[in-house]
């Protein structure tokens, strides 16, 4: 079992920045690919960013490219999502997730999930 706990969400003005953190505990964290997903009210959950188990490969949805950066600190068992130039359309509940194997944009393939953290971007 892997337990995931997100932090760092909040209210920010458009153009601002936030750093989300996802702390893992339980089984070895290093063997899992990690992903950040988000879900806005009335919308489906969507992939935002992913990172492979070694941290050497990262993936982003088009809307996140150039603005968001995913990283992981294996020593701290933590994955981060740095979000810059935030827009109102980034408003959502952001959740981190873990899966064995390769990074996937499909949320249903992830075995472990955090509880989510709210990000609200005001215009």
- Cβ pair 113, 3 in contact under 8 A: no
With 90 as the cut, is the pLDDT of residue 1 above it? no
Give the pLDDT confidence score for residue 31 in this predicted structure. 86
Give the pLDDT confidence score for residue 13 in this predicted structure. 98
Mean pLDDT of 51-79: 96
> Given strand 68-73, what is the order of strands in its sheet?
2-7, 18-26, 78-83, 68-73
pLDDT 10s digits, 4-62: 999 999 999 999 999 999 999 987 777 899 999 999 999 999 999 999 999 999 999 99
Mean pLDDT of 81-105: 97
pLDDT 10s digits, 103-121: 999 999 999 999 999 999 9
Question: Checking phi first, is residue 93 left (phi over 0); if not, alpha (psi -120 to 50) or beta?
Answer: beta
The neighbour count for residue 52, using CB atoms within 10 Å, is 16
């Amino acid at each position: 079992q892997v337990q995931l706990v997100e932090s760092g969400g909040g209210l920010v003005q458009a153009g601002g920045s936030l750093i989300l953190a996802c702390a893992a505990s339980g089984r070895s964290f290093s063997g899992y690919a990690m992903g950040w997903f988000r879900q806005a009210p009335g919308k489906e959950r969507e992939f935002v960013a992913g990172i492979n188990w070694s941290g050497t490969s990262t993936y982003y949805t088009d809307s996140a490219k150039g603005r968001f950066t995913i990283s992981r600190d294996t020593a701290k068992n933590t994955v981060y999502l740095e979000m810059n130039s935030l827009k109102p359309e980034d408003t959502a509940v952001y959740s981190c997730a873990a899966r064995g194997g390769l990074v996937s944009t499909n949320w249903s393939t992830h075995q472990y999930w955090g509880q989510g953290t709210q990000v609200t971007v005001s215009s």
